[in-house]
Amino acid sequence: MSLLVTGSIGIDTVRTPFGVSECCVGGSAVYFSLAASNFCPVRFLGVIGDDCPFDLVEIFAERDVDLHGLEVRQGSKTFRWSGSYEGAMNEANTDDVELNVLSEASPKFPDEYKDSKYVFLANTAPSLQLELLDQVDNPAFVAADTMNLWIETALDNLKLLLDRINMLVLNDGEAKLLTGHQNVTTAGKKILEMGPEVVIIKRGEYGSMMLTRNGDYFMLPAYPTEVVIDPTGAGDSFAGAMMGSLARDDKVDFVSLRNAIVFGTVSASFTIGDFSIHGMKSADTEKIEERYDLLRKITQF
């Protein structure tokens, strides 16, 4: 089943206790697509400037990722983000951000993407997420991500978006900021009242929590990874594998959502094992299934 993602492509500089990765490939749509393509074909929608030093065709050469929606905008500059992590590396410190092309018009939307059934609106401005959603004819399931910046500066548009999507994916700090509640469960319930049928709250090294409007709960610990090199993109990889699993099975119920979260958790464990996209690129179906089986084994009781 068709899976469409729209989000950022970025030039990242990341500092962690393990070193520095300067001007490396990043962006929500990139991490998402690498993870999702282990499960199903991906339609990629995004925009970069003519200064982008990366060859995305080469990056996705061995993946089933349709790049007809990639726009290289002449005269524009690619999104840049610089961040650092300290201690347990549960949260990134944004040291510098240049929105550049992300502050301009949306990427051109190919006609062949209009019939996409599964849609993920990765982290961009809510106004752009809404604009892009308007161009999909009749999606079966729409999920979105957001971040503190948009909660603080574009709350009205974010609320409009929440009323039009099936699922919101965000971290615990963002959930607390969005709702004003410090209890994660209470924050999740308040988000459900804003429109989505499902909310998934990522909790870093503590795993994730899912709440549904039907009153269902699911909690899963993080995969037991001994060394965390770079957490950048882990949440996007989580979302990619999760949505890829749902699109592959073409089914969204409580059981399929739980299974999808396990795949998302496992995929994120690969991302954090190296800088930039190198950890996620090393993951294949066999390795993902191995970690899936182990995580299932250690969480059963």
Q: What is the pLDDT of residues 178-196, one digit of tens each?
A: 999 999 999 999 999 999 9
Alpha helices in the chain (DSSP H): 28-36, 56-59, 126-133, 148-153, 155-162, 172-179, 184-193, 234-249, 254-271, 278-281, 285-299
Categorize the per-residue pLDDT at 241 as very low, low, confident or very high, splitting at 50, 70 and 90: very high
**Out of 9-13, 124-128, 196-200, 233-237, least confident range:** 124-128
Structure tokens at 91: 């949260």
pLDDT band at 220 (very low <50, low <70, confident <90, very high): very high
Identify the residue with better confidence: 225 or 36. 36
**Confidence class of residue 116 from pLDDT cuts 50, 70 and 90?**
very high
Domain ranges for the chain, please list them: 3-299
Question: 285 pLDDT exceeds 80?
Answer: yes
Is domain 3-299 classified as CATH 3.40.1190.20?
A: yes
Confidence (pLDDT) at 171: 93
Proportion of the chain above pLDDT 70, given as a percent? 100
pLDDT > 90: percent of the chain:
89
Count H helices and E strands in the chain, helices first.
11, 13
How much is the average pLDDT of 98-123?
Answer: 94
pLDDT at 88 (0 to 100): 77
CA–CA separation, 13 and 15 (whole Å):
7
pLDDT at 93: 87
- For 57-98, the pLDDT digits (tens) are 999 998 999 999 999 999 999 999 999 998 878 778 889 999
In angstroms, the CA 238 to CA 242 distance is 6
Q: Average pLDDT, stretch 247-262?
A: 96
CA-nearest of 138, 159, 22 to 83 is 22
CA distance 49 to 91: 28
Given this model, what pLDDT does residue 123 score?
A: 86
Rounded to whole angstroms, how far apart are CA atoms 186 and 176?
Answer: 9
Mean pLDDT of 154-160: 96
Q: What is the pTM of this model?
A: 0.95
At residue 90, the pLDDT reads: 78
> Which token pair is 242?
């999760």
Backbone angles phi, psi at 29, to 5 degrees: -70, -30
Average pLDDT over residues 247-267: 97
Question: What is the biggest distance separating any 2 CA atoms in the chain, rounded to whole angstroms?
Answer: 58
**1: pLDDT strictly greater than 90:** no
